[in-house]
Amino acid sequence: MPRPRHCRYVSSAPSVTYFKPRGIPLRELQEACLCVDELEALRLADAEGLTAQEAAQHMRVSRHTFGRTLASARRTVALALTQGMALRIEGGTYAVVSDNTYENKEHTMQKIAISSEGPTLDDTVDPRFGRAGGFVVVTLPEKSVEYIDNGASQTMSMGAGIETAERMARAGVDVVISGYVGPKAFEALKAAGIKICQDVEGVTVREAVERFERGELPFAEASNK
């Protein structure tokens, strides 16, 4: 059974959704379909000139996912141009979020996800990242609290850290606080533009948040191992 396709975030829905070669009747043309998220990948990389990491952060996906999306988009456009096909832009798994939303989010609030053994601020920080039971998500500065269940990753034989990192990216998390973050999970979080505070153990979620607010939790430059 294929894995569900994760949502990509785009700055706007396309205003023009169809292109065709000049002078050829529509009934005689074959079509190539470009998804809306693939168009966004082309815009960010080729029109805006963003790096893969920057573009991935805008779309809230991993750098590898962005790379695959961009490669697919370029293949589709190349096929349409070289074989004289019409190009239809539609479909894809995406949500529209303007660039201003990203800018305001960066300056006005931070979503901090703390791996936790329970759903409350008074539960203990789970030292595991990929196989944590869940994450308490605290939005600063208002300190609203929500909980993300991570039970599905606990049952995975492989790839739990990457799956959990993608779950954090889909939730729009800015910072992850945990004990141990493995190399693959670390790179996936980094590619999504999520900062990491690690080696946090033996305290409650509330205490971890307070330490973060006091600047006592530095951002990690590399994984624990």
* Domain boundary, last residue among 75, 103, 131: 103
Q: What is the mean pLDDT of residues 195-200?
A: 93
- What CATH number is attached to the domain comprising 32? 1.10.10
pTM of the model as a whole: 0.53
What is the span of the domain harbouring residue 158? Answer: 109-213
Domain shared by 37 and 59, yes or no: yes
Q: Mean per-residue pLDDT for 76-88?
A: 95
Residue 219 lies in a domain: no
CATH number, position 191: 3.30.420.130
Model confidence at 103, pLDDT cuts 50, 70, 90, reads: very low
Residue 206 resides in a domain? yes
Q: Is the pLDDT of residue 107 over 70?
A: no
Q: Check whether residue 40 and residue 127 sit in a common domain.
A: no
Q: In what order do the strands lie in the sheet with 86-89?
A: 18-19, 86-89, 31-34
Asked whether residue 121 falls in the same domain as residue 185, the answer is yes
Residue 145 bridge partners (DSSP): 138
Inform me whether the pLDDT recorded for 142 exceeds 50: yes
Q: Is residue 218 part of a domain?
A: no
- Please give the tally of structural domains in the chain: 2
DSSP-derived pairing of the beta strands 134-140 and 110-116: antiparallel
Residue 98 and residue 16 share a domain: yes
In percent, the amount of the chain with pLDDT more than 90 equals 51
Contact 93, 37 (CB under 8 A): yes
